[in-house]
């Protein structure tokens, strides 16, 4: 971000803040005006983060960690594994 872009961004945020202040004077502290004020504050915070990010050297990415791959076979399970087990999702039907 160039310095002129930063100046323009700050100017635009200042104008927005002024407009929200005028709306607050006219309509009071209604929910819509509060939301607009929060939005302007959030944009100001985000702009500051971008400016700080742009002015600091980038950090290197953390090294990737190898993860163990677990292969789950798609072959049928041994039917003995399910012997005497209830099929709870099937209304109590029981394989025998």
Rg of the chain on CA atoms, in Å:
30
pLDDT at 26: 96
87 vs 52: CA distance, rounded Å: 59
pTM: 0.54
Q: What is the mean pLDDT of residues 34-61?
A: 84
Task: Write the DSSP symbol of residue 56.
Answer: S
Residue keyed to tokens 């959030």: 42
In whole angstroms, what is the distance from residue 3 CA to residue 48 CA?
13
pLDDT for 74-96, tens place per residue? Answer: 888 888 877 777 666 655 555 55
* Tens digits of residue pLDDT in 56-77: 666 666 677 777 877 878 888 8
DSSP, res 62: P
């Amino acid at each position: 971000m160039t310095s002129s872009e930063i100046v323009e961004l700050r100017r635009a945020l200042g104008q927005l803040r002024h407009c929200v202040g005028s709306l607050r004077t006219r309509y009071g502290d209604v929910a819509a005006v509060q939301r607009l004020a929060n939005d302007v504050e959030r944009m100001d915070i985000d702009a500051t983060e971008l400016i700080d990010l742009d002015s600091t050297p980038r950090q290197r990415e953390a090294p990737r960690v190898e993860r163990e791959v677990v292969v789950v076979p798609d072959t049928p399970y041994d039917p003995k594994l399910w012997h005497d087990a209830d099929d709870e999702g099937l209304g109590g039907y029981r394989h025998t």
